[in-house]
Amino acid sequence: MEKIVSLCKRRGFVFQASEIYGGIGNTYDYGPLGVELLRRVKDSWWSAMVREREDVVGLDSAIIQNPKTWITSGHVGGFSDPMVDCKKCKSRFRADKLEDARCPEKPSKRPGACEGELTEPRAFNLMFETNVGPVKDSSSIAYLRPETAQGIFLNFKNVLESSRLKPPFGIAQIGKSFRNEITPGNFVFRTREFEQAEMEFFVPPGTEQHWFDYKDELAHYSNFTSDIEYEYPFGWGELEGVASRTDFDLKRHSEASGVDLVYFDPQTKEHFTPFVIEPAGGVNRIALTLLIDAYEEEQLADDVRVVLRLHPAVAPITVGVLPLVKKEGMPEKAKEIGAKLRRAGLTTYYDEKAAIGRRYRRMDEAGTPYCITIDGQTFEDDTVTVRERDSMAQSRVAVKDLVEHLAAATQAWRRMR
Ligand code: ATP
């Protein structure tokens, strides 16, 4: 993890938030490469989940909703992790994750393995509170959403009526969620502010069962749940949760608001509250997983190269544009070719500083799948060198064929996916 964290800072993927003020606990900002990675993760998710399907539509609901939302959903009462405190080091740990936890003391121990006594587990509410309007009293309390899903349930009727879809259909949303996590950590794996990508799939009751055969870690609204986990350097962790949320949320919101959230099927003349299947992933965790998965220290004949083998669909930069030397018209030619590539929709990065080998390595670390080099020969036959990140193979390609060549190479990757 230390290597990933250091690469993220060095190359501008992730910075500590408020760094000049000493930071703010477990909060991160995404730099020029990080924001591109996040956007590509979200674009890929949105394409697969919404645009490539005819039975799923999108939504972008507000972060602060009427506070009754969270009372009805059960989050005000039940959205809490049981926590224990170590009386010696004063650290707080999730009571259900003691096996995986380590205390901040040096040497770090499992909670309870030092002389410190652990308190009884206590509930800790994870929602951030704020006040809406000029007066700060109990009537103005509102919450920052801890999941994007509730905004979808609140809009179930609006979407149903405006889109004329009928169950089974889904509503997807990507957006920030906030949880006052008491044990954040492992870099961007668990933070207090994060982005979720969730889809609520509304199905006729009784048809949801075949989605799952495994039941574990049930949330308070769920009758079966399964997690998709990844083995991080710090152990297994959830990447995406897939839950069958039953008709709990729609029923509760119907009761509490007095607005009927029942679906009427005009064909069968049946009234029913749909059941909900929910895949809920974390955008930041997916980005972290991609970085960890892509990171490699490759042993070469005379040294070690750090390379991020990111798929071109998520790589922040697609093509590095490099003049061999900073003279003889090469920078101008390189900029001209770079502009042509950008007009064709490719993301480019221009670099003329340092020896060409060093520049290739910088692009390898940034996960850039291709580099093109403009050299003396370019002025003779209008070709450039295309260097491929993974194999480091180089070939000469005519400038006029460049867009097609890079598109074909990227397509080859897509087929691999
Ligand atoms: P965990 O068990 O790790 O706390 P969760 O089961 O509470 O996660 P969900 O409520 O299912 O998580 O949220 C869906 C997804 O949102 C998770 O799979 C994860 O990728 C992401 N996520 C949840 N909490 C955080 C967080 N604090 N920081 C970053 N991502 C998060």
State both tokens at 6.
């250091």
To 5 degrees, how large is the angle CA 176–CA 365–CA 309? 75
Distance CA 100, CA 410 (A): 40
Is 224 in contact with 283 (CB distance < 8 Å)?
no
Q: Torsion-angle region of residue 258: left (phi > 0), alpha (psi -120 to 50) or beta?
A: left
For range 263-270, the mean pLDDT? 92
Range of 73-87, 93-107, 133-147 with top mean pLDDT: 133-147
Q: Is 186 in the pocket of ligand 1 (CB under 6 A)?
A: no
Give the DSSP per-residue string, 310-357.
--TTT-S-SEEEEESSS-TTHHHHHHHHHHHHHHTT--EEE--SS-HH
- pTM across the whole model: 0.88
232-252 residue pLDDT tens = 999 999 999 988 889 999 999
Strand order in the sheet with 370-374: 348-350, 319-323, 370-374, 383-388, 394-398
State both tokens at 7.
């690469």
Pairing of the two strands 169-178 and 193-203? antiparallel
**Rg of the chain over CA atoms, in angstroms?**
26
Q: Is 173 in the pocket of ligand 1 (CB under 6 A)?
A: no
Distance CA 141, CA 201 (A): 31
Is 249 in contact with 153 (CB distance < 8 Å)?
yes
Cα-to-centroid distance, 76 and ligand 1 (Å):
18
Q: List % helix, strand, coil for the chain (3-state, nearest 5).
A: 35, 30, 35
- Residues, the chain: 417
Q: Is 240 in the pocket of ligand 1 (CB under 6 A)?
A: yes
Distance CA 230, CA 152 (A): 27
Distance CA 3, CA 5 (A): 5
Q: Which amino acid belongs to residue 240?
A: E
Residue showing tokens 């007009």: 343
Nearest CA to ligand 1 atom 26: 190
Q: Is 279 in the pocket of ligand 1 (CB under 6 A)?
A: no
Predicted local distance difference test score (pLDDT) of residue 113:
82
Nearest CA to ligand 1 atom 24: 190
Half-sphere exposure (CA, 13 Å, Cβ side) for 119? 16
For range 305-321, the mean pLDDT? 96
Predicted local distance difference test score (pLDDT) of residue 417:
47
324-362 residue pLDDT tens = 999 999 999 999 999 999 999 999 999 999 999 999 999
Cα-to-centroid distance, 79 and ligand 1 (Å):
13
Q: Is 351 in the pocket of ligand 1 (CB under 6 A)?
A: no
Least reliable range by pLDDT among 3-7, 53-57, 121-125, 368-372: 121-125
Q: Is 389 in the pocket of ligand 1 (CB under 6 A)?
A: no
Predicted local distance difference test score (pLDDT) of residue 231:
95
Cα-to-centroid distance, 297 and ligand 1 (Å):
30
DSSP 185: B
Predicted local distance difference test score (pLDDT) of residue 101:
82
From the CA of 198, give the closest atom in ligand 1. 14
- Closest residue by Cα to residue 320 from 297, 296, 353: 353
Give the DSSP per-residue string, 217-234.
S--TT-SEEEEEEEEETT
Report the chain's mean pLDDT, rounded to a whole number.
Answer: 91
Q: Is 281 in the pocket of ligand 1 (CB under 6 A)?
A: yes
Q: Is 89 in the pocket of ligand 1 (CB under 6 A)?
A: no
For range 373-398, the mean pLDDT? 97
Predicted local distance difference test score (pLDDT) of residue 183:
72
Distance CA 154, CA 149 (A): 9
Cα-to-centroid distance, 179 and ligand 1 (Å):
9
Beta-carbon count within 10 A of 393 CB: 9
Cα-to-centroid distance, 237 and ligand 1 (Å):
9
Q: Is 241 in the pocket of ligand 1 (CB under 6 A)?
A: yes
Confidence of residue 213 (pLDDT cuts 50, 70, 90): very low
Q: Is 409 in the pocket of ligand 1 (CB under 6 A)?
A: no
Residue 365, helix vs strand vs coil: helix
Predicted local distance difference test score (pLDDT) of residue 25:
87
- Probe residue for ligand 1, chosen from 238, 242, 286, 288 as the CB with the greatest number of ligand atoms within 8 Å: 238
Q: Is 191 in the pocket of ligand 1 (CB under 6 A)?
A: yes
Residue 226 has pLDDT above 90, yes or no: no
| Partner residues linked to 235 by β-bridges | 232
Cα-to-centroid distance, 282 and ligand 1 (Å):
6
State both tokens at 5.
């964290």
Nearest CA to ligand 1 atom 8: 238
Q: Torsion-angle region of residue 22: left (phi > 0), alpha (psi -120 to 50) or beta?
A: left
Distance CA 335, CA 6 (A): 31
Predicted local distance difference test score (pLDDT) of residue 211:
47
